[in-house]
Structure formats: structure tokens, C-alpha cells
Amino acid sequence: MRRIVQQPAGSPESHKHYKDTVESPVSFAAHASLLTSTDLQILSQLHPTGSAAMWGAKPGKGEVNVKQYANMSPGDFVVFASNKRIFRGGTVTHKFRNAALAESLWQRDEEGETWELMFALDELRELDLTYAEYNTVVGYGANAIVQGFRVLGEEKSAALFEYLSLDSDTYPAVGTASEVAAKIAGLGGETEKLVTTVQRLEQGFLRQSLLPGLEGDCALCGRTFPRKLLIAAHIKKRSECSPQERLDVPHVAMLACKFGCDSLYEEGYLGVDATGGVLVSKFVEDSTAISDYLSALAGRQCAAHTPASADYFSWHRKYTFKATG
């Protein structure tokens, strides 16, 4: 699942680094000679603007931070701390060890180390959390302070994700099939908080199964989009699925784009017939934009329709698709 990464940024040195490479995104083209071809390709696909906020940690004595860095993954959320407050956060998109680039961006310290344990960030957001509030949420002592680069454990991370509503369609929590199955099977009279955590893990597993790469195709309109513009949409409403159906991946869900297909299918203005053809409802609000969009989809073949998913599409036609108003 997604983790929280603590990062102090209160020293004059850290403050300068923050202004230089978080507030001012780093251009890939300007530093292409210092990036491996693989890292440059990945960063360019993840950040089509050609730049991204970047941060890094030093290996530290005995490479203590290398162990923390190994526990960090794309999708984790970094919280920056200064003046006894958590003031900003962002999602890790890619991590890469690069001493040459780190030295170019931030030089080296007096001991010759540089911040080579690097990572790029997306979905930056302002936060305003006192240390006292933060400590209460994650279960630290009242007087604890954010010291050093640290990746929090699952329980502490989940608590802060829930408290700050840090869910992300682009970088969801991901669990294995067995983990998700075990958690779903264990649900009964648990608190809403636990149910939400399981749903987050389930959605992450579903999305990762449907979209393992950096981009994918919308099953309804067929267009290719970067992963942040695609939804892992349930074909049959999730609330109506049995525990077994919720784990019937990939047949119970499909990729749908945020450019209209996801919402129109969810609202019943789009459906899929028994042969896989896209259906368009006759009961569309009087909107030229919607009508034009839907007419372009009518008769297309839905890429997600298979014998294994046919029953889920049938349920949607019967209970959601606006066939008769």
C-alpha cells in the first residue's frame, strides 16, 4: 500500500533546495546529459510538461537512508516539515539514484555527500498540520519532531492518508490478490475507517491489474491516455458485487477515460450490448456537447467485452443503462 515519507525541510540548506527544485520544477531537457535514457523516458512519460518537482536524500552514515529509500515506492506521499508544521506534500512518481544530477542541483555537503537518493513528485498540495496534530494521527509521542528521512509503516501511513483524504486515482494503494481477498473476507461490522482502507487497497489492485504501464486505452472510446486520465471503472456497480465478483479481475472492471466515458457510463448514458457494441441512451439531456460526444461512440466495439465480462455488462444494461427513460 502507499506509504507516508517524512522529510524535514526546515534548515537553511533544505529551504533553499525546496525553493530550487520543488517550488521551481526541474527541466528534463536541461539535465538530459545527467539522466540515464531509461529515467529520462520514464520521467517524460509521467510528466508530459517536461519538468517535475524533485527531491533527494543523502545516503547518510552507514547508508542508513538507503534502507529507508528501498522501502519507498512510486505512489508514496512525501510530507515536508518545517517550523513544527507539516506544510506541503506530494506524490512520488519515480525514484532513481543519481549522484551526478543531485550534485548539479544541490552541490555536496562538507563531508562530500550529495542528495543522490532522488525522486520526482506530482500532485503537490498545501498542508497545514502542527506536529502535535500529526503526532496524534500517526501515533507518535506528543513531543516528537520530524527528524530525518523516514518511510512510515503501513498503520501510521494509513492513518494519515485517511485523516488528510490523500486518495489518488493516479497513484492508488496497491495490494496483492491474496491480500485484498483476505481483507474483503474479513469485513463484517468493522468501522467505516477500516472499510475505506480495504476499498482503497481493492481499487489499487484493480487499477494496477488493468493498467500496469504508463498509459492505456479507454475501453469505450478507444483513445490512448496517460494513466492519470484513466479510471478503473466497475462494469457492474461495486456496491452490487459479491466479494467473489469484486475479485474477478480483470473481468469486473474496465479502463474508462476521465474525458467523459467514465461519467457517462456510470450515469447510464452509455452501455454495452450482448455482442460488445457500445449503446447510446436516447434519453440524453439537451446538450449539443454531450450529444456530439455520444454519437461518436455509438456502435463502437467495447474492448472490455468478453465472454467472462458479459454478465457484468448485462447487469449494467438491466439496472443502470437508460434504455427507457
Domain range annotation of the chain: 4-164, 206-319
Rounded CA separation 230/228 (Å): 6
CA distance 22 to 25: 6
Paired strand residues for 273: none
Going through 162-245 in order, the beta strands assigned E by DSSP cover 215-217, 224-226, 230-234
* Ramachandran category for residue 305: left, alpha or beta (phi over 0 → left; psi -120 to 50 → alpha): beta
**Closest alpha carbon to 25 in 146, 158, 122:** 122
4-8 and 77-82 beta bridge pairing:
parallel
* Angle CA 249–211–164, to nearest 5: 95
Tell me how far CA of residue 52 lies from CA of 25, 49, 91, 175, in angstroms. Answer: 5, 8, 11, 27
Reading the block at residue 135, the C-alpha cell is: 503526532
Q: Which of 87, 97, 108 is nearest to 8 (CA)?
A: 87
CATH number of 4-164: 3.10.590
- For 278-317, list the strands marked E by DSSP: 278-280
**Rounded to a whole number, what is the distance in angstroms from the first to the last CA of the chain?**
42
pTM (predicted TM-score): 0.66
Number of helices and strands in the chain (H, E): 12, 13
Q: Could you read off the pLDDT tens digit of each residue along the chain, which spans 325 residues? A: 789 999 999 999 999 999 999 999 999 999 999 999 999 999 998 898 999 999 999 999 999 999 999 999 988 999 999 999 999 999 999 999 999 999 999 999 999 999 999 999 999 999 999 999 999 999 999 889 998 999 999 899 989 988 998 866 666 655 555 655 555 555 444 444 445 556 666 777 788 788 877 789 999 999 999 888 899 999 999 989 988 898 888 899 999 999 999 999 999 999 999 999 999 998 876 667 788 888 889 989 999 999 999 999 999 999 999 986 5
- Grid coordinates representing 267 are 450515469
